Structure 1
Amino acid sequence: MQATQQQTGSYLKDLTRRARTWLMLSAATSSIACILFILQLCALAALVDNLTFKGQPLDTSVTDCIIILALSVSSFIFQWLADMTGKEGGLHISASVQRDALIHLTKAGPAGCAKQPAGQLITTMTEAAEALEPYFSQYIPRAVMMVVLPIVILGIVFHFDIWSFVILACTGPLIPFFMVLVGYSAQSIMDRQWTQLVLMGSSFLDSLRGLMTLRLNGQTTNSITRLERQTEAHRHATFSVMRVAFLTSATLEFFASLSVAMVAVIFGSRLLAGTADFRSAFIVLVLAPEYFIPLRNFSSSYHARQNAMAAAKQLQTLFTLPEYAVARQSASEPVSSAAPVTMLKLNDISASYEKALILKQISAEIRKGQLTAVSGESGSGKTTLLYTLMGFLPLRSGSVAAYDAGGAQHPLTEENIAWVPQRPLMAFGSIADNLRLGAPEATDDDLKNATRQAGIFDFIMTLPEGFNTQAGERGARLSGGQIRRLSLARALLRNPDILCLDEPTANLDPDTADTIIEMLKSCAKTRIVLVATHDQKLISAAQQVLHINENGSLSALTEKAVA
């Protein structure tokens, strides 16, 4: 869902409140710097007038020179403080937005993010969040100064010359007016640029992931050509933005130059006629260009606002992802001392994605000591059932209860349940690093025990560096079966009471699949093991089978005696 202009503006206002203190400090110090700069110019004009027309000796002007130098240094220091505080405020907001986006993606979970391209999420999390920083560190402080400094200068000019005041007061507002007119067309160009950037990032990531498939199908050249077209489209969009920026600057310079020229011509003619004094003319002519400096600075940062508006739209789209993940509490006592869960009871559970009901009133008891398989056609709801147990998807109705051997009910926590997806993630790093993703405090002995249970320990020991061997990007140096067993070992490393697996034998050769099945049967002796699968051999090996119909209801529940 694309956010409207008004919603985006409200979102940016809400973000401003997060760094209100930093931004107020930036505006305050910048205002002080400008006032000191104006006082410096007035002091300089008085010094020149005294030396040139009033015959003041140079050796008596030392104090005035020191005052001018002090004002100049003070103005520089306060402006530096303004830039630093504005930068800090922008970085604070950018970091907080990235943190909020990560939290929201965690709440959305795998189910909520399933339809969102990974490349778009990455681009939004990085580029869009970072694009907000110039808006708060540059645009907002300069927008404040565009109001403060011209008013102060107009007040001083009004004191010295009414005609110059009228000229500046009439020409000054024309600049923001024309900037707004140009800005409306620039915003649509900026939105198009962000769309091109998102498409390019998504396509590039997809090409990297599917490089092998593209090469096998002879589509590498076509993929490169498509990326070139997207890069060229983004380049054209970027140059369109730059053309608008140059047009805005040209508009500003035209009116600023015209205004200053009018003031200079009128004052020059009045000086020649003897109806104006040099000091007033010098002060006004020095202040006239400074009157347009905050407008010029605002113009140079106006594209930051347009960029932030386009980025905020992307961020709002990310924040509209549904929050499917269920918050799970941590165990109130260590897992080692808590009574293990030995039975899961599903009581008429129903689950859905948005409005589409996937599971319908599923009831079953899943016990420790028996391998339980969930079968059914693709799309019937097998993975959805695991998602509800893992907390990735909330229940529409019904309940899931966990009991220990004594019949006492326990909450499902993050500690007592583990998950092995159909396509396990192997991060870039060593085998040990990947295993410790679920248990960072695990010792070397814990790694050895878990890999022995998963039947992968002997293979790891044959590697030159053992557990320190690099797995490669997404496990590129490992086979599919090795990745599955490592992911199983990673889950077992947490010593969970409940182990859920999604298609653990899919796309594996028969020997590797048989090895995985034996591992699962062994694991089921000491914990609850629930497997969603199409593999008939795995279904035959299970002691309990839950068959789900195409409409999401439980059609059959068969049980076999445990050997």
Structure 2
Amino acid sequence: MNRQNQDKLVESLAREMQSAEAPPLIVEEKAALPALEDVTKPVKKDLIFAVVLGGIAGIFLVFQMGAIARLVTDLAFNQKNIFDEKNVLLLLGFSVIVRSILQSQADTFGDKAAIKAISSLRIEVMAHLFRAGPVALDLEATGKTATALSNGIEALSPYIARYIPRLSAMVILPLILLGVVFSLDKISFMVLIITGPLIPVFMALVGYAAQAVMDRQWNELLRLSGSFLDFLQGMTTLRLFGRAKKGAVWVGDMAEGHRKETFKVMRIAFLSSGVLEFFASISIAIVAVVLGGRLLAGTFSFETAFFILLLAPEYFLPLRVFSTSYHARQNAQSAFDPLAKLLTLPELAEEARKQGQYCPEPSVDVFDPCAVEALVLKNVAVGYNEGKNVVEDFSAHFKSNQLTVISGPSGAGKTTIFRLLLGMLPSRSGEVFLQMAGGKYASRSHLKVGWVPQSPYFFAGTIFENLRLSAQDADLVQMRCAAQEAGALEFIEKLPQGFEFKLGDRGAPLSGGQIRRLALTRALLSGASLLVLDEPTADLDQENAQLLAEAIERSAKGRIVVAISHREDIGALAAQSLRLEKGRLVSEKKLEERK
């Protein structure tokens, strides 16, 4: 996907997110899973066109078979030559051409409906995931989610483009043909109406067994995707513990399991198709025997008998074709279930965004970034799902132009506070707002947040391309200024090609300290007024840690900076130090007090 298409996708997602009215966050009740049929609601018009055109094509099929029956009868029994059949040949040619055009257009409308529905669903799911945010996705395996968003969505295409139109054709075309046969011969009509239902009945019986097998196949695929991604990401650790080969064998066993489940699906599909063909052939043979006996007895005309015999295979054809498409529906249902679960994730980020609009009185008339004095958290309580509060009655002032460090033991609630500051998680109670100069207030939504995680991610590309992720219009001059502030400019300029130096995945071959400073550069380039850092100097040697700590201290000028850290290199520079234990603030010290 090129840059222009990426921008269009992002813009469409943004419009979707802005226009969507998210329901309030209710953790006591679970949302109902969306149904597969809901996917086709935006494309009903295209599907109706496909069904109508297919029905009209069925009418021209009757004309086509009637012309063939007349032509054969005249040539074989009425002593006419081919030149005497101009009108019949014209009718036959016209019927074939019109029917082909109509059926082609019906298939085109079906394909268009599938493309539109899949695009709409993909945007809907992506927009919902943006509204849900990273916290809601914490328990979802990355590999499974990626497979659901790619292969899972694409698996719906045959269901929309073929299954739904053929479901309608299975009803419409047989009814048209039954009406024609009823007007010609009541006995043939009875044979067709008795033998016809055998195919859908058998198809339903096969379907129950096939659905369970397809569910297992998709579960195996999702497990394989998630496990393979985990194996790749943890290969270094596995090699260090001598478990790489066993991990590879484990992934291979899952791949073999998926292969076996896939062949089970194919076996059921082939066997069911063979049996359905058998029933259809037997039914057509019964019609042929009945007509042949009546022809030998001289009680029936050849033209009518031949016409009915030509229509008989076409009567069973929609049923046979639909039976093959029925597997597409089962596959689509298995593929849609993981997507439906993603669509029921709570919209935590959207709820947090709405809470960010809160502003106590008196509020400022016009927001001035330079007038921000502090980000205030007042009596805040935060928790996850239906569990108890992880952070309870937390109050703090994160002031502008200074560094605040949060420390505490594991499980104390530091990450939860960070998720609240980043807008990933809503609070259950309390207030979050901006304290402005002159004793006024503003909503926290005015803050632009920059995030420097403990393990920053850089994709394979140039430093310039990676930095522009936070500021699409940034030029080289702005990047140099941000890099200078973050203490990264010196080592960038020493690299071959400087900002055009190509990085590998996760920033290879840069060192840990260089990657952290590059991540700080990217956050500063975004123009963030709130900078949040997670263990910025962890795992760094003393020299790199000191360089990064000094850069973080410099970055506090003109913005609010909050960091989680247990190291003294950051703590010694903090103007304010907060300590959490068991979700509560147990100590708050200023720099002067610590000295």
Do both share a fold (TM > 0.5)? Answer: yes
Counterpart amino acid of 1:312? Answer: F
Match of 1:392 in 2: 424
TM-score by length of 1: 0.94
2: CA distance between counterparts of 1:542 and 1:120? 41
Q: 2:9 corresponds to which residue?
A: none
- Contact 2:375–2:444 under 8 Å retained in 1: no
Q: CA deviation at 1:307?
A: 0.6
Aligned partner of residue 85 in structure 1, secondary structure: helix
Q: Which residue of 2 aligns with 1:123?
A: 147
Displacement of 1:443 in angstroms is 1.2
Tell me if structure 2 keeps the 8 A contact 1:341–1:497: no
Deviation at 1:116, TM superposition (A): 1.1
Q: 1:355 aligns with which of 371, 386, 410?
A: 386
| Residue 567 of structure 2 is aligned to residue 554 of structure 1 | no
**Aligned in 2, Cα 1:336/1:426: closer, same or farther, shift over 3 Å?**
farther
- Please list the CA deviations of residues 108-160 of structure 1 after superposition, one character each: whole Å capped at 9, or x if unmatched: 21211111111111011111111111111010000000001111111111122
Equivalent pair of 2:47/2:110 in contact (CA under 8 Å):
yes
Secondary structure class of the residue paired with 2:394:
strand
User: Whole-Å Cα distance in 1 between the matches of residues 446 and 543 of structure 2?
Assistant: 33
Give the equivalent residue in structure 2 for 1:516. Answer: 548
Structure 1: distance between partners of 2:286 and 2:558: 91
Indicate how the Cα distance of structure 1 residues 416 and 440 shifts in structure 2: closer, same or farther if over 3 A, else same. Answer: same
The letter of the residue matching 2:535 is E
The whole-number CA distance in structure 2 between the counterparts of 1:211 and 1:336 is 50
In the other structure, the counterpart of 2:198 is: 174
* CA distance 1:249–1:340, change in 2 (3 Å): farther
Whole-angstrom distance in 2 between the partners of 1:39 and 1:476: 70
Tell me if structure 1 keeps the 8 A contact 2:73–2:302.
Answer: yes
What is the TM-score of this pair, normalised by structure 2?
A: 0.89
Query: For 2:319, which of 283, 292, 295 is the aligned residue?
Result: 295
Query: Cα offset for 1:82?
Result: 0.9
* 1:100-499 matches, cutoff 5 A: 100-325=124-349, 326-327=352-353, 338-356=369-387, 357-413=389-445, 416-499=448-531
Unaligned runs of 5+ in 2: 1-31, 358-363
Deviation larger for 411-420 or 317-326 = 411-420
C-alpha change, 1:283 and 1:24, in structure 2 (3 Å) is same
Residue 110 (structure 2) aligns with:
86
Change (3 A) 1:114 1:523: same
> For 1:73 and 1:314, how far apart are their aligned partners in 2?
43
SS of 1:126's equivalent?
helix
SS at 2:503's partner residue? coil
State the alpha-carbon separation in 2 of the partners of residues 250 and 26 from structure 1: 28
Structure 1: which 5+ runs fail to align? Answer: 1-6
1:4 corresponds to which residue?
A: none
SS in 2 for 1:327: helix
Offset of residue 424 of structure 1: 1.6
Separation in 2 of the partners of 1:421 and 1:149? 61
- 1:24-35 to 2 correspondence within 5 Å? 24-35=48-59
Whole-angstrom distance in 2 between the partners of 1:318 and 1:482: 36
AA at the equivalent of 1:541? L
Call closer, same or farther: CA 1:554–1:536 in 2, change over 3 Å. Answer: same
**Distance in 2 between residues matched to 1:25 and 1:365, nearest whole Å:** 62
Q: Distance in 1 between matches of 2:293 and 2:530?
A: 92
Distance 1:537 1:454 in 2: 16
Secondary structure, in 3 states, of the residue corresponding to 1:345? Answer: strand
Distance 2:43 2:420 in 1: 39
Contact (CA 8 Å) 1:415, 1:494: kept in 2 or not? Answer: no
Q: Which amino acid aligns with 2:378?
A: N
Separation (CA, whole Å) in 2 of partners of 1:186 and 1:130: 20
Cα distance in 2 for partners of 1:179, 1:199 equals 30
Alpha-carbon distance in 2 for matches of 1:276, 1:340: 98
**Structural RMSD (CA):** 2.0
Deviation, 1:474, is 2.3
Q: Distance in 1 between matches of 2:46 and 2:142?
A: 34
Distance 1:279 1:415 in 2: 83
- Give the structure 2 partner of residue 13 of structure 1: 37
Alpha-carbon deviation of 1:56? 3.3
Q: Distance between the aligned counterparts of 1:75 and 1:114, measured in 2?
A: 53
What is the one-letter code of the residue matched to 1:292? Answer: F
Aligned to 1:68: 92
Post-superposition Cα deviations, 1:302-357, rounded to whole Å, max 9, x if no partner, equal 11100111111111121222221122689xx9x99754533111111111111221
2: distance between equivalents of 1:458 and 1:203? 40
AA in 1 matched with 2:274:
A
Give, in whole Å, the separation in 1 of the partners of 2:143 and 2:523.
Answer: 28
Work out the CA distance in 2 between the residues paired with 1:264 and 1:534.
87
Residue aligned with 1:398, SS: strand
Structure 1 counterpart SS, 2:425? coil
Provide the rounded CA distance (Å) in 2 between the counterparts of 1:338 and 1:213: 45
Question: AA paired with 1:409?
Answer: Y
Q: Is the Cα contact below 8 Å between 2:367 and 2:442 reproduced in 1?
A: no
Aligned residues: 552
How far apart are the structure 2 equivalents of 1:219 and 1:258?
A: 59
What residue identity is the alignment partner of 1:552? G
Quick one: distance in 1 between partners of 2:401 and 2:184?
A: 95
Structure 1: distance between partners of 2:316 and 2:345: 44
Letter in 2 for 1:30: G
- 1:54 corresponds to which of 78, 86, 97: 78
Indicate the SS of the match to 2:211.
helix
After superposition, the Cα gap between the structure-2 partners of 1:369 and 1:152, relative to the gap in structure 1 and judged at 3 Å, is same
Identity rate, percent = 42
| CA contact 2:167–2:322 (8 Å) conserved in 1 | yes
Q: Which residue of structure 2 aligns with residue 3 of structure 1?
A: none
Structure 1 residues 311-320 or 279-288, which shifts more? Answer: 311-320
Q: How far does residue 525 in structure 1 lie from its aligned partner after superposition?
A: 2.8
Residue identity opposite 2:183 in structure 1: H
2:15 is aligned to: none
Rounded Cα–Cα distance in structure 2 between residues aligned with 1:391 and 1:51: 81
Distance apart, 1:504 and its partner CA? 0.9
Output the CA distance in 2 between the equivalents of 1:408 and 1:483: 39
Structure 1 range deviating more: 417-426 or 67-76: 417-426
2:13 alignment partner in structure 1: none
CA distance in 2, matches of 1:309, 1:529: 48
Report the CA distance shift for 1:414/1:486 in structure 2 as closer, same or farther (over 3 A): farther
Offset of 1:411 from its aligned partner? 2.4
